[in-house]
Amino acid sequence: MNDLSRIPTLQIQDDFKTRAHKALGDDQLRRNFRTAMDSLMTKRATAFSDADERERLRALGNRVRARALSKLPELLERLETNLTRNGVTVHWAETVDEANAIVLSIIRAHEARQVIKGKSMVSEEMEMNHVLAAQGIECLESDMGEYIVQLDHEKPSHIIMPAIHKNAGQVASLFHDKLGVEYTKDVDQLIQIGRRTLRQKFFEADIGVSGVNFAVAETGTLLLVENEGNGRMSTTVPPVHIAVTGIEKVVENLRDVVPLLSLLTRSALGQPITTYVNMISGPRKAHELDGPEEVHLVLLDNGRSQAFADGELRQTLNCIRCGACMNHCPVYTRVGGHTYGEVYPGPIGKIITPHMVGLDKVPDHPSASSLCGACGEVCPVKIPIPSILRRLREENIKAPDDPHPIMRGQGSKYSPRERLLWKGWRLLNTSPALYRTFSFFATRLRGLTPSNIGPWTQNHSAPKPAARSLHELAREHLGETQGDRP
Amino acid sequence: MSELFYNAAPNATRVAPPLPEPRRYPTQKPAQVYLFGTCVIDLFFPSAGLDAIRLLQREGIRVSFPQGQSCCGQPAYTSGYTEEAREVARAQLKLFAEDWPLVVPSGSCAGMIRHHYPELFKDEPETLAQVQALAERTYELAEFLLHVCRVELHDRGPAVKVALHTSCSARREMDTHLHGRALLAQLSQVERVEHDHESECCGFGGTFSVRMPDISGAMVLDKTRALKGSGAHQVVSADCGCLMNINGALEKQNEALRGQHLASFLWQRTGGVS
């Protein structure tokens, strides 16, 4: 037993199922999620009150995204050309390490000490706060939800509402403990406390970091939506703005943004439009009074081109990050975002994370779904999430020596034993004589059904076969000819 | 800026496409249909299959039940064992060669045949044509009774409150919830009551229920609570996978409430003897 890989690691002990088990036992957490998700579902339903309009818009959104992806390399080049023309410096990063190195080099070039950040899931992929902190650079989240989770040394539990796992009382205690303010559960007051703390930081920061919702190739425009104004502050007040985004966020032109923006804001929070829609087209010009002196864009791959390479999996990159799939997911609602253990939780997390970290690092992701289809039904760009989950299950059981691997870490659930079971199942269901014999014994020996059938009887009483199968009843009822006995 | 906006090249993907056409149904009842009984009904709810046959026969339709049938292949398909699913599907294909409608008393199995068989055989052009023709004439039972038979049900039972649970794939792939509601609405003494989070999954999901028993268990617990809280005297569903899940959980909880297959419920309410 000298082989170190055989020793169970922390990761194995704290896997998806263990975290799910813990979350399911946390009544407060489950109430917080259920209440929040119910409210979000209602808001979305209200925002899309006309079902025909909604379905036509979703179909359009799907087409716009599919077209953008169909010419992704070309659009990225056009984006770079037009951004450069606008005075934005474009950087390319294949991995998160490369992306962090780029950000660090910009920070060092300006001898920056403080960074203020608008909400960005790509910066979460990069673990930017952590990386910068290790270099002695303060990186403060300015989105209220992100600020709350940062204050509590947590990670976001939702891509749109990072602190949705906490209720007002929990935020009140956190602010009281960490900021030393008087305890109040009044949401407006809590927000005021947060805003006052952050306000000063916008002016002190040397660099502002943001994400991007849509990168428009034709005009070289970075579009950023938000509701708190922190995105605008982060991208206009500090002298340097660094935007980080995934390579799939590019769209062809401004007209494409119109349906996508409407789909995004209505699907996410049920809003007709967000309070702020920022369109960033370069640094401050000579005659302009405000805006950053320098704007950088870091385009991150981080496994996206692996998804891009496969026609079916490519649809994963349609995502516009609205979070509707998690709001409507019966699994996410019950286990919460942290159970997924990675940056992107919920249905979209289950299909995108394997490309970022390798399927073997998230082996339970594809199977943690009843394939109920709620996610696919609400996805504003019609990503067939259940079909992709099924496809990932297929990749996940492939033999390790598969000559044409599709994705990193595939085959992590390969089990010769399970494969043999399904071969047996196939034999049973393709041989009528065998099936008939099996059902004869299953019905006649029904009294012998064990009362403990592994995980099934954890939640159910043991199922007992009927006394006679439908095959027998139909044969008797319809007669031999109608019953079409072979 | 506006000039740029409006001079953008015309493109086929600028306009929202028309909505897909709703399914068209034959104007006349067929003389004969196939019944695909499904594996779960075969072993665990055979009377539901028999009641489906009786309902069809009462409409003057001859029913053929090929004895070689087994499973639609869905368990392997959703588990990622695509090849095994395809071979089981292929074995069923041969049994339904005549041009008769295929009626399935399960929305999720009907959806498997109608929507996923063409996907399974997409690389076999010759089989694909046969599969597409089969998919075209595959109906879930409630859908067939409602839209092809255009049944008129006459309620003969006492006043009762029922809750309708619809399998998720049946709901999303086959609109089975709408068909079930329409059929129940024909029964004068039956009051259909809504239950909390009605459209939410019961937690079955085939092998999901044994791979993720904690999450699945939490889901079925919420579902059974909602059903009990609805005031329904009984539960009706057109899918036996969900019924096995819901009934098994109710039994484990020592609850009296049970779910019944829609076919059996309709047959018994309208004077049929099971």
Residues 295-334 (A) with a CB less than 8 A from some CB of B: 330-331, 334
Q: Of how many residues is chain A composed? A: 486
B41, B84, B199: residue with CB nearest A470: B41
- The residue segments making up the domain with residue B134 are 32-147
Mean pLDDT (chain B, rounded):
93
Q: How far apart are CA A185 and CA A151, in angstroms?
A: 17
Read off the pLDDT of each residue in B195-201 and give the average, rounded to a whole number: 97
pLDDT digits (tens, 9 = 90+) for B71-103: 999 999 999 999 999 999 999 999 999 999 999
Residues forming a β-bridge with A242: A209, A296
What is the pLDDT at residue A1? Answer: 35
| Chain B residues whose beta carbon lies within 8 Å of the beta carbon of residue A442 | 43
- Residue B7, pLDDT > 60, answer no
Residue B26 lies in a domain: no
A17, A253, A369: residue with CB nearest B8: A253
Q: Is A452 exposed, middle or buried (0-12, 13-18, 19+ CB in 10 A)?
A: exposed
Give the end of a domain, one of B131, B147, B163.
B147
Kindly state whether residues A256 and A113 are assigned to the same domain: yes
What is the pLDDT at residue A2? Answer: 40
pLDDT bin (cut points 50, 70, 90) of residue B6 is very low
Kindly state whether residues B125 and B171 are assigned to the same domain: no
Kindly state whether residues A329 and A272 are assigned to the same domain: no
What is the pLDDT at residue B194? Answer: 97
Residue A133 lies in a domain: yes
Residue A387 lies in a domain: yes
Give the end of a domain, one of B111, B128, B147.
B147
Residue A301 lies in a domain: yes
What is the pLDDT at residue B158? Answer: 96
| Chain B residues whose beta carbon lies within 8 Å of the beta carbon of residue A397 | 79-81
Side-chain-side CA neighbours of A121 within 13 Å: the count stands at 26
| Chain A residues whose beta carbon lies within 8 Å of the beta carbon of residue B217 | 458-459
Residue A425 lies in a domain: yes
Whole-structure pTM value: 0.94
What is the pLDDT at residue B10? Answer: 44
For residue B200, give the CATH number of its domain.
3.40.50.11810
Q: CB–CB of A483 and B67 under 8 A?
A: yes
Kindly state whether residues B52 and B142 are assigned to the same domain: yes
What is the pLDDT at residue B243? Answer: 97
Residue type at B38 in one-letter notation = T
Kindly state whether residues B157 and B143 are assigned to the same domain: no
pLDDT bin (cut points 50, 70, 90) of residue B17 is confident
Residues 6+ apart with CB under 8 A from A422: B76, B79, B81, B84
| Chain A residues whose beta carbon lies within 8 Å of the beta carbon of residue B78 | 371, 390, 393
Kindly state whether residues A407 and A346 are assigned to the same domain: yes
| Chain B residues whose beta carbon lies within 8 Å of the beta carbon of residue A455 | 209-211, 213
What is the pLDDT at residue B131? Answer: 97
Kindly state whether residues A234 and A272 are assigned to the same domain: yes
What is the pLDDT at residue B272? Answer: 79
What is the pLDDT at residue B4? Answer: 46
Q: How far is B120 from chain A (nearest CA, A)?
A: 12
Q: How far is A440 from chain B (nearest CA, A)?
A: 10
Kindly state whether residues A219 and A296 are assigned to the same domain: yes
Residue B3 lies in a domain: no
Beta-strand ranges (E) seen in B133-218 are: 138-140, 160-165, 190-193
List average pLDDT for each run of 10 residues in chain A, which is 486 residues long: 38 78 96 96 96 94 96 98 98 98 98 96 96 95 95 95 94 93 91 88 95 98 96 96 98 95 97 96 92 97 98 98 98 97 97 97 97 97 98 96 93 96 98 96 90 91 94 91 49
Kindly state whether residues A426 and A357 are assigned to the same domain: no
The count of domains in chain A is: 3
What is the pLDDT at residue B2? Answer: 41
Give the end of a domain, one of B94, B115, B147.
B147
Kindly state whether residues A5 and A76 are assigned to the same domain: no
- The residue segments making up the domain with residue A379 are 1-49+323-414
Q: How far apart are CA A179 and CA A161, in angstroms?
A: 21
Residue B50 lies in a domain: yes
The count of domains in chain B is: 2
Kindly state whether residues A287 and A340 are assigned to the same domain: no
pLDDT digits (tens, 9 = 90+) for A309-335: 999 999 999 999 999 999 999 999 999
Angle at A249 between CA A289 and CA A215, to 5 degrees: 25
Residue A15 lies in a domain: yes
Kindly state whether residues B172 and B241 are assigned to the same domain: yes
Q: How far is A207 from chain B (nearest CA, A)?
A: 29
What is the pLDDT at residue A474? Answer: 97
Q: Of how many residues is chain B composed? A: 274
Q: How far apart are CA A378 and CA B246, in angstroms?
A: 26
Kindly state whether residues A234 and A303 are assigned to the same domain: yes
For chain B, what is the HEC assignment? CHHHHHCCCCCHHHCCCCCCCCCCCCCCCCCEEEECCCHHHHHHCHHHHHHHHHHHHHCCCEEECCCCCCCCCHHHHHHCCHHHHHHHHHHHHHHHCCCCCEEECCHHHHHHHHHHHHHHCCCCHHHHHHHHHHHHCEEEHHHHHHHHCCCCCCCCCCCEEEEEECCHHHHHHHCHHHHHHHHHHCCCCEEEECCCCCCCCCCCCCCHHHHCHHHHHHHHHHHHHHHHHCCCCEEEECCHHHHHHHHHHHHHCCCCCCEEEHHHHHHHHCCCCC
Kindly state whether residues A138 and A231 are assigned to the same domain: yes
